[in-house]
Amino acid sequence: MAGHLCNSSPDWVSYWWVLLVRVEVLQKERPKDKKKGKDGKDQDDEDFLVDNEEEMDVKEELEIKQDSTKEYLGKLQYKLEYDFNAQSLNVTAVQCTELPALDLGGTSDPYVKVYLMPDKKRKFETKVHRKTLNPFFNETFSFKQVPYSETFDKTLVFAVFDYDRFSKHDQIGEVKVPLCMVDLAQTIEEWKDIQSVKVDDQYLGDICFSLRYVPTSGKLTVGILECKNLKKMDITGASDPYVKIKLLDSKGKRIGKKKKTTVKMGNLNPYYNESFVFIVEQEMLRRVSLELVVADYDRIGSSDPIGRVECGYNRKGLELKHWKEMVENPRRPIVHWHVLKDVEPGDDDDDEKKKEKKKEGEKKERKKEVDNNKIQ
């Protein structure tokens, strides 16, 4: 027995020796678990975790405070229903609540514009609700011929406006709904916070033109001189720009025929030097405005607008100044450079094209009838 113990003792000694070495190695490799606190006492890992949690809480509070500084513009409720058989998207602007007061009386006259981006061609508007910050619209609009496969790259926009009888309507805010983020296989009805409209920092270019008015004849002469640094609209990195000039009434509807410059192919800095005359009675100068739209010509499809400028007494800044200078300096051409602004959705050019196509179709039908009569 003694011999057995004596023979086994080296194994026990080696076992304990290896164990002690492993413990020492682990202690050396282990990161420092303690740190001296403010009172000189040791502070363990759990205390560090608590400290880190407090730091995170402070950061979260700061982020919440930053978010709370954003202006609250109210909420909008909407409903979406997609008809797979008819390939139409039915959109209901249900109501808004807690809208900001933009009028002097502490109220607003809200209404909502509804359209799809990026085309902006089909635009609908609700009725104006007078003197209320909680309008109930419950109006449904149908976007027809919208294949389901094309909905994924479209964004539905609810633009909330405050109606103003005598000046440009003020936009309160908007709600954007990317259709790729919603399940159109089911009816969607939800509330969203109205967001402030982000000013597009994208530079569209400049246009230089002159305005001249002769009171005795009522002639308003618009001289389109040149454009510079226009936005690239084509795949080639160029544009084929031309300028459309329209006289608008106080409701924004076109008066008479629009004028057009020549098209300058593949040119981002076109020079025109072309003039156009409109007949406007002197007392109408306060009720009308002049719109200039720079567009990129397209042979196949419709021309894409690059940017616009509108001058008149209902405008602000340089657009108002240019018009006033023209009126106050009769017979003298007043020249200014203007920065192009983004074109608002719902241009009436699409309606005009439809009318032109309808007329062309009617002419062709008449021609066919005449030809048939001749053959008979």
Q: DSSP 3-state assignment of 312?
A: strand
| DSSP bridge pairs for 169 | none
Q: What count of Cα atoms within 13 Å lies in the side-chain half-sphere of residue 294?
A: 35
Residues 6+ apart with CB under 8 A from 338: 206, 207, 208, 209, 309, 318, 319, 322
Residues 6+ apart with CB under 8 A from 265: 240, 297
Phi, psi of 46 (to 5 degrees): -65, -40
The closest alpha carbon to 250, from 320, 326, 166, 161, belongs to 166
Whether the Cβ atoms of residue 204 and residue 309 lie closer than 8 Å to each other: no
Q: What per-residue confidence (pLDDT) applies to 49? A: 44
- SS3 sequence of 153-190: HCEEEEEEEECCCCCCCEEEEEEEEEHHHCCCCCCEEE
Q: What per-residue confidence (pLDDT) applies to 111? A: 96
Place of tokens 């410059």: 261
∠ Cα 343 344 345 (to 5°)? 120
Q: What per-residue confidence (pLDDT) applies to 234? A: 74
User: DSSP letters of 1-32?
Assistant: -HHHHHHHHHHHHHHHHHHHHHHHHHHHHSPP
CA separation, residue 234 to residues 107, 231, 261, 297, 320 (Å): 45, 9, 20, 10, 32
Q: What per-residue confidence (pLDDT) applies to 122? A: 81
Alpha-carbon distance 248 to 257, whole Å?
A: 10
Whether the Cβ atoms of residue 200 and residue 307 lie closer than 8 Å to each other: no
Alpha-carbon distance 128 to 130, whole Å?
A: 6
Strands 75-83 and 42-43: unpaired
Tens of each residue's pLDDT in the chain, 376 residues: 444 444 444 455 454 554 554 445 445 444 444 444 444 444 444 454 445 444 445 445 444 444 445 679 999 999 999 999 999 999 999 999 999 988 777 889 999 999 988 766 688 999 999 999 999 999 999 999 999 988 887 889 999 999 887 666 788 999 999 998 899 999 999 999 999 886 554 688 999 999 999 999 999 999 999 999 898 887 677 889 999 999 999 888 999 899 999 999 999 999 999 999 999 999 999 999 999 999 999 877 678 899 999 999 988 888 999 999 999 999 999 999 998 998 866 554 544 555 555 556 666 666 666 566 655 5
The closest alpha carbon to 338, from 154, 210, 213, 238, belongs to 210
